[in-house]
């Protein structure tokens, strides 16, 4: 369970974070999104985006450049199995 941070606080249970992905980005889920198709949210500073996971595709973008979205997509594709495992572990 080293890739999913589930802390004792209610906040951490609502927003689990995917670890073991290098780079300046925070990869996470919202617990309230578990009814949606599998996806991951990504944040760096004030920028946010959301990627669907099956297949990997951009769902929403707020302020990331096209180049940076390509970098994020490559991180997701490289670590897709671990991200899906974390989703399934959290959302069931």
DSSP 8-state class, residue 9 = S
**Helix or strand holding residue 87 (H, E):** helix 80-91
- Asked if 21 contacts 79 with a C-beta cutoff of 8 angstroms, the reply is yes
Average pLDDT over every residue of 62-74: 97
- Regarding pTM above 0.95, the answer is no
Alpha-carbon torsion 77, 82, 88, 90, what sign?
negative
Alpha-carbon torsion 21, 24, 27, 28, what sign?
positive
pLDDT tens digits for range 26-65: 999 888 889 999 999 999 999 999 999 999 999 999 999 9
Higher pLDDT, 79 or 23: 79
pLDDT at 21 over 80: no
């Amino acid at each position: 369970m080293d890739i999913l941070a589930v802390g004792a606080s209610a906040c951490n249970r609502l927003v689990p974070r995917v670890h073991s992905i290098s780079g300046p980005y925070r990869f996470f889920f919202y617990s309230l999104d578990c009814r949606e198709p599998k996806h991951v949210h990504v944040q760096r500073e004030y920028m946010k985006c959301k990627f669907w996971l099956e297949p990997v595709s951009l769902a929403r973008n707020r302020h990331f450049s096209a180049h940076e979205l390509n970098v994020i997509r490559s991180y997701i594709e490289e670590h897709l199995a671990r991200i899906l495992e974390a989703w399934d572990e959290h959302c069931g």
